[in-house]
Amino acid sequence: MNKVLMYSTGVCPYCIRAEQLLKQRGVSEIEKIRIDLDPVRRDEMMNRTGRRTVPQIYIGDTHVGGYDDLAALDHAGGLLPLLSAE
């Protein structure tokens, strides 16, 4: 299964929903980067994604986007193939 990385904050309902959806799809481990605790990581996220909001989710090397993007990918049937791709 591809590695999942999520930039998040401590009080983010969309981060929680994204984590729940990923776990429902079989993801057991999510590397979480708390940008509210580390401003350098916030800058890293903004440079890497071009976005300021959380969550920002990567599956493998693919930037999925935020929760709405993740949910849309799942609805379109693209999430499970991306998770299982090597």
Domains, the chain, ordered by start: 4-84 (3.40.30.10)
Q: What is the mean pLDDT of residues 61-85?
A: 96
The pLDDT of residue 5 is: 97
Percentage of the chain beyond pLDDT 90 is 97
Output the average pLDDT for the chain.
96
The pLDDT of residue 7 is: 98
The pLDDT of residue 86 is: 63
Residue 85 burial class via C-beta count within 10 angstroms: exposed 0-12, middle 13-18, buried 19 and up: exposed
C-alpha 29/C-alpha 46 separation (Å) is: 23
Q: What is the mean pLDDT of residues 39-50?
A: 96
78 membership: H or E segment, kind and range:
none
Q: How many secondary structure helices (H) and strands (E) does the chain include?
A: 4, 4
Find, among 20, 18, 5, the residue nearest to 62 by Cα. 5
pLDDT band with cut points at 50, 70 and 90 for residue 14? very high
C-alpha 83/C-alpha 40 separation (Å) is: 28
